[in-house]
Amino acid sequence: MKKLAVYPGSFDPITNGHLDIIERAAALFDMVIVAILNNSSKNSLFTVAERKAQIAQLIKKFKNVKVDSFDGLLADYMAKTKANACVRGLRAVTDLEYEFSLANINQKLNPKMETIFFMPSEENTYLSSSVVKEVYSFGGELKQSVPPLIDKALKKKFKN
């Protein structure tokens, strides 16, 4: 049986922290699906189509990683794809309680679902998409925190 993992998130935008987790998950699983949640209640900077295209460009080097999007419950998406594990990142202690409760709820909804937590590398410990967007919205930049493709896309979005 293949080991299939889903790495869900908004990835708005994807950061070097996300890419670090994708790379490490790709080394452990036969296939990793980076699954963009289409959350209509969130006011996203990039459309799902834009994020999908960005991520597809950034994961080209991985033969066992693909990008997808989904609506609804993660537990249902996991069952639909027959994924063995859900990959999540834990940046700081503040993430733990929220992620732990999500993992428990998801396992109640889909008992076959396991959640695997990855700690970020030191340089990505406090990095989040929200912080990245806020910095760029005020004309700043975090070139060390996002791939060049995303740096360019953020500058273009906030130029308008």
Which of the following is catalytic: 42, 80, 112, 155?
A: 42
Distances (CA, A) of 30 to 17, 27, 38, 104: 21, 8, 25, 25
What residues pair up with 117 in beta bridges, in sequence order? 88
Active site residue 101: no
Question: Is residue 40 annotated as part of the catalytic site, yes or no?
Answer: no
Known active-site residue 24: no
Which one of 10, 51, 88, 129 is the catalytic residue?
129
Name, in order, each residue with C-beta under 8 angstroms of 13's C-beta and a sequence gap of 6 or more. 45, 46, 51, 54, 129, 132, 133, 146, 150, 153, 154
| Angle, in degrees to the nearest 10, between helices 148-159 and 48-58 | 150
Among 24, 52, 91, 133, which one carries the catalytic annotation? 91
Active-site position among 10, 18, 44, 51: 18
Task: Cite the active site residues.
Answer: 18, 42, 91, 129
